[in-house]
A = this chain, B = another copy of it.
Amino acid sequence: MAADSLSLTFTALADPTRRAILARLSRGEATVNELAEPFAMSLQAVSKHLKVLERAGLVTRGRAAQWRPCRLETAPLEEVSDWLGRYHEQWEDRFDRLDEELLRIQNGTEGEQSHE
């Protein structure tokens, strides 16, 4: 079931509909109807997606009359960013190796002298 925060966040982000909802919310608050409008699915389905996003802490909702305006919360994204940071080093290493390679080729310290 994976109750930990990171798993809930990754689970929430694993669906393209939910990522689209987040993209929409990054441009400002929106009601459920507004959020559902672009999608070829029922309002209830979108409501469920919002629940998943809420469970992950990516969305909070207010209460204005009969509307429940949704707001984006970035804290879980920062958590993801922190997690990613542990691996950032590795792909930088890869780039570093690539850089070295390119540098060696540019400097002509390899292949220029004798063979090949």
Contact = CB atoms under 8 A, between A and B. Distances in A.
Interface residues of A, number: 29
Interface in A77-98: 77-78, 80-81, 83-84, 86-88, 90-91, 94
**Identical subunits present:** 2
Nearest to A4: B16
Interface string A8-50: 0011011110010011001000000000000000000000000
Nearest to A89: B26
A111 to B, nearest CB: 28
B91 A87 contact: no
Interface of A: 2, 4, 6-7, 10-11, 13-16, 19, 22-23, 26, 72, 74-75, 77-78, 80-81, 83-84, 86-88, 90-91, 94
21 contacts: A2-B15, A2-B16, A6-B13, A7-B14, A7-B15, A10-B11, A10-B13, A19-B83, A22-B87, A23-B86, A26-B87, A72-B87, A72-B90, A74-B90, A75-B91, A77-B87, A78-B91, A80-B80, A81-B81, A81-B84, A81-B88
